Chain A
Amino acid sequence: MSDNLTLPAPQGTSGTPADALLEVKGLTKHFPIYGGFPIKRRVGAVQAVDGIDLTVGVGESVGLVGESGCGKSTTGRLITRLLEPTAGSITYAGQDITHASRRQIAPVRSEIQMIFQDPYSSLNPRQTVGSIIKSPMEVNGIEPEGGREKKVRELLELVGLNPEHYNRFPHEFSGGQRQRIGVARALALNPKLIVADEPVSALDVSIQAQVVNLLQEVQRELGIAFLFIAHDLAVVRHFSQRVAVMYLGKVVEVGDRESIYNRPRHPYTHALLSAVPEVGVDSEAADRERIRLSGDVPSPIHPPSGCRFRTRCWKAQDKCATEEPPLVQLSGNGDGHLTACHFPEDPTTGSRGDDIVMDPALMAMEEGDTPEA
Chain B
Amino acid sequence: MTTLTKTEDASAPTGPESFLSVRDLKVQFSTEDGIVKAVDGLSFDVERGKTLGIVGESGSGKSVTNLTILGLHNPRTSTIDGEIVLDGKELVTAGERELERLRGNKMAMIFQDPLTALSPFYTVGRQLSEPFMKHRGASRKEARDRAIQMLEKVGIPQPKVRFDDYPHQFSGGMRQRAMIAMALMCDPELLIADEPTTALDVTVQAQILDLLKDLQQEFGSAIIFITHDLGVISHMADDLLVMYAGRAVERGTVREVLHEPKHPYTWGLLSSMPRLDSDLDQHLTPIPGSPPSLLNPPAGCRFHPRCAFKEEVQGNLCSEVRPPLGDGRAAACHLTAEQKQTIFIDKIQPRLR
Seen from chain A, the residues whose Cβ lies within 8 Å of a Cβ on chain B are: 3, 67-68, 174-177, 204-210, 212-213, 216, 231, 233-235, 237-238, 257, 261, 271-281, 285, 292-297, 359-362, 364-366, 369
Contacts and interface: CB of A to CB of B under 8 A. Distances in A.
Given A67-B201, A209-B286, A279-B258, A296 B274 contact: no
B168 interface: no
A213 B231 contact: no
A206 B272 contact: yes
Contacts of B273: 205, 208-209, 234, 279
15 contacts: A3-B283, A67-B201, A176-B290, A213-B284, A231-B201, A238-B284, A275-B203, A277-B209, A278-B275, A292-B207, A295-B171, A295-B173, A359-B207, A361-B153, A361-B155
B234 interface: yes
B234 A261 contact: no
A279 B275 contact: yes
Contacts of B311: none
Contacts of B280: 237-238, 257
A306 B144 CA distance: 40
A177 B287 CA distance: 14
Contacts of B259: 281
B5 interface: no
Given A234-B276, A296-B201, 12 more contacts: A177-B290, A206-B272, A209-B273, A212-B274, A234-B274, A235-B274, A257-B280, A275-B205, A276-B231, A292-B210, A359-B155, A361-B153
Contacts of B278: 234, 238
Contacts of A294: 155, 207
A366 B214 contact: yes
B174 A174 contact: no
Interface in B176-220: 177, 201-207, 209-211, 214-215, 217-218
A233 B278 CA distance: 12
Interface residues of B, number: 55
Contacts of B154: 361
A206 B249 CA distance: 15
Contacts of A174: 290
Contacts of B288: 210
B203 A277 contact: no
Interface of B: 57-58, 152-155, 157, 171-174, 177, 201-207, 209-211, 214-215, 217-218, 228-232, 234-235, 255, 258-259, 268-270, 272-278, 280, 283-288, 290-291
Nearest to A211: B286
A200 B57 CA distance: 14
A280 B275 CA distance: 10
Contacts of A210: 286, 288
Given A206-B269, A213-B286, A231-B201, A279 B234 contact: yes
A277 B283 contact: no
B284 A279 contact: no
A115 to B, nearest CB: 18
B228 A205 contact: yes
Contacts of B204: 67, 296
B276 A277 contact: no
Given A174-B290, A176-B290, A231-B202, A360 B272 contact: no
A277 B207 contact: no
Contacts of B285: 3, 209
A213 B272 CA distance: 10
Contacts of B217: 369
Contacts of B231: 276-279
A365 B218 contact: yes
Contacts of B209: 277
B75 to A, nearest CB: 30
Contacts of B291: 204, 206
B221 to A, nearest CB: 15
B235 A359 contact: no
Contact of A237 (B153, B171, B276): B276
Contacts of B173: 295-296
B203 A280 contact: no
Nearest 5 CB-CB pairings of A with B? A361-B155, A277-B231, A209-B286, A209-B272, A275-B206
A360 B217 CA distance: 17
B201 A297 contact: yes
Contacts of B232: 277
Contacts of A281: 255, 259
Contacts of B255: 281
Nearest to B284: A209
Given A209-B286, A212-B284, A275 B202 contact: yes
A216 B283 CA distance: 9
A174 B290 CA distance: 7
A296 B170 CA distance: 10
A284 to B, nearest CB: 8
Which among A3, A205, A297, A360 has the greatest number of chain B C-beta atoms within 10 A?
Answer: A205
A276 B273 CA distance: 13
Which among B174, B206, B255, B291 has the greatest number of chain A C-beta atoms within 10 A?
Answer: B206
Given A206-B272, A234-B274, A362 B214 contact: yes
Contacts of B290: 174-177, 206-207
Nearest to B272: A209
Which among B215, B274, B278 has the greatest number of chain A C-beta atoms within 10 A?
Answer: B274
A97 B14 CA distance: 69
Contact of A207 (B177, B210, B286): B286
